[in-house]
Amino acid sequence: MAATVEIVPPISTREPHGEFRNSVLTDFSREDNARAMRDALRKVHSELGREYDLVIGGKMVTTKDKIKSANPARPSEVVGVHQKAGAEHVEPAMQAAIKAFEFWRTTSWQERASLLLNASALIQQRRFEFNAWMVYEVGKNWVEADADTAETIDFLEFYAREALRLAKSTAPVQLAGERDHLQYIPLGVGAVIPPWNFPCAIMAGMTSAAIVCGNTVILKPSSDSPTIAAKFFEVLQEAGMPDGVVNFCPGSGSTFGNALVEHPRTRFIAFTGSKEVGLDINARAAQPRKGQLWIKRTVLEMGGKDSIVVDADCDLDSAVEGVVASAFGFNGQKCSACSRAIVEESIYDVFLARLRDRVAKLSLGDPVENKNAGPVVNEGAMKSILNYIEIGKQEGRVIAGGARATEAGDGYFIQPTVIADIAPNARLSQEEIFGPVLAVIKARNFEDALEIANNTEYGLTGAIYTSSADKIERAKRDFHVGNLYINRKCTGAMVGAHPFGGFNMSGTDSKAGGPDYLYLFTQAKSIGEKVK
C-alpha cells in the first residue's frame, strides 16, 4: 500500500492541546469548499480500481480470491480490488498480532495516544479525499460523508485524551502503610468487525480505541467498504504504527470472520452490524475453545427500530424537518435512523400532508452531484428494501415514493418512501429495514405514543417533539433507548456529547465516544504494596 508520506511530528511528542472540541462540519454552500470537494472527487476518481493487499505483520499478502468493491450509484464502476482473507489467514494474522502485543502492551500511554493524534492530523489534511472515497464506495452525499470524516477525527482526538486520562487512574482509597494502585492494562488480541454504513468513523473508532489501550487488532472491514478501511490503514502506517499492531484483513464473515471469532487466542470482538450477525458472534464467542484461557469480551452494536414521537403541542414544522432528516439522511441506512414516526391523532392528517410535501422536495441521484438521496449500498439491500415496501403496501397506505427510482440511473436507487396508517405491531413497525422507508403510526395520546415507541425488541435511539416540560420528563424516565433526543432529530450523535449505544437487542450499550468506552478494551489491575 504505497502512499504519499506527509510530515507529522514524531510519535513521541504529539500531545493534545486544550479541551476536546468536536470538528466543525464543512459548509459546502461556500464556493471554496465546494471547489475543494470537486477537486477531491476528481482526484479520487482517477485512483478507482486500484488493487490492495492484505497486510499481516507488515507483510503484503495476495490471494487468489478477490473482493471487488463497486460504486452503488454506478455498479459497473470498481472502486477497489481487495485480497480476500480466508480461514487459512487467521493463524498468520493472529501470530503477527500476538508478536506485536508483546511490545505494544508496554509502550507508554503517551506514545500510543500520539499515534492517534498523528493519524488525526493526517486525516484532517486529507479530509475532502476521505469524503470522496465515501461518496464513491458507499454512496454518501457530501454532507453525510463529511460528517463521517469529522466523526473519525473526533474519535481519534477524543480517545487519545481519554487514554491519557486513564493512564492517571489511581485507587480511590489509600490504606495506611500501603501504596495502593489501580491501573488499566490491555486485554490482548482483538477482532474488529465494522459496518459499511459509517465505513470510516465506526471502523476507525473501534480500531483506535482498541490500540490506544495497548491491544493489537485484526481488522476485518465490510466487503462493501474495504477501500475506505485501506485508506485509514495507510494513515496509521504513515502516523508511525508498528507492524502487526493492526493487521488489515478483508474477508468473508462466514469463513475468515467466524474462524477469527472462534480462535482461542482472540481476547475480544468489537462488532457493529445486524442483530442476527451480532447474536451469532456473541454465541460463538461464548463457547470456550481448546487452549482458551479467558472469557472473550464482546462489544456489540446491533441496530435499531427507532421512533420519533410527535406530540400534539409540538412545533410541527420542526418535527417534520427532524423526521425527514432522520428517516432519509443517507437513505435511512443508519442504525439510528427514524424508521417510525408516531403521531398523535389530533395532528395526524396535517402532519402527513406536510411530511408528504417535504419529502417531495428531496433530490435523488448520484451523490457525486451532492443530491439529498443517493443509492442504497448494494443490490441485495435494494431487493430487501423493495420487498419491505411491498409488505408496507399491504399493511398501510403509501403517501410518498414506493418504488425503485430508475430515473436516477442504473444504480441502486429507491424513492424516499412514506407509508401511513401502519399498525404498531405490523412487520413494517417491528422489523429493521435499513433503507429509505418510514412507517407512520397514529397514537391516541402521548401515553399511547410512548407505549408504542417501546414496543420493539430494540432500544437504540429515539426522539420526541413536544413543548410540554412534563412530557419531556416522562420521556427521559420511560422512553427506553440508549440515546434519547428532545426536539431534535434522532440521528447525528456527536462524540463526547452523545455517547452512543443502545439497549435490548440493539447491543451491549457500549457508549462509543463516551468517557467509559475505553474501559471495554482494558482490564483493571489492583495493586496493594506494603511500605515501611
Active site residues: 301, 335
SS3 56: strand
Taking alpha carbons only, the member of 313, 301, 318, 320 closest to residue 418 is: 320
What pairs with residue 414 in β-bridges? 404
* 366 grid coordinates: 448520484
Q: Where are the beta strands (DSSP E) in 225-383?
A: 246-248, 266-272, 297-301, 306-310, 338-344
Taking alpha carbons only, the member of 93, 150, 155 closest to residue 127 is: 150
DSSP string for residues in 57-123: TTEEE--SSEEEEEETTEEEEEEEEEE-B-GGGHHHHHHHHHHHHHHHTTS-HHHHHHHHHHHHHHH
Taking alpha carbons only, the member of 178, 180, 163, 58 closest to residue 115 is: 163
3-state helix, strand, coil in the chain (%, to 5): 40, 20, 35
Query: Residues near 7 by Cβ (< 8 Å), separated by ≥ 6?
Result: none
Q: Dihedral sign, CA of 195, 331, 314, 311?
A: negative
Report the distance separating Cα 226 and Cα 203, nearest Å.
10
Query: Residues near 242 by Cβ (< 8 Å), separated by ≥ 6?
Result: 100, 103, 104
Decide if 155 contacts 513 (C-beta within 8 A).
Answer: yes
User: What are the phi and psi torsion angles at 294 (to 5°)?
Assistant: -145, 165
Give, rounded to a whole angstrom, the gap between the first and last alpha carbons of the chain: 56
Residue with the three cell numbers 507483510: 59
What pairs with residue 342 in β-bridges? 309, 441
Report the distance separating Cα 207 and Cα 284, nearest Å.
21
* HEC string for 381-426: HHHHHHHHHHHHHHHCEEEECCCECHHHCCCCCECCEEEECCCCCC
SS3 186: strand
SS3 354: helix
Report the distance separating Cα 305 and Cα 338, nearest Å.
7
Taking alpha carbons only, the member of 187, 189, 211 closest to residue 266 is: 189
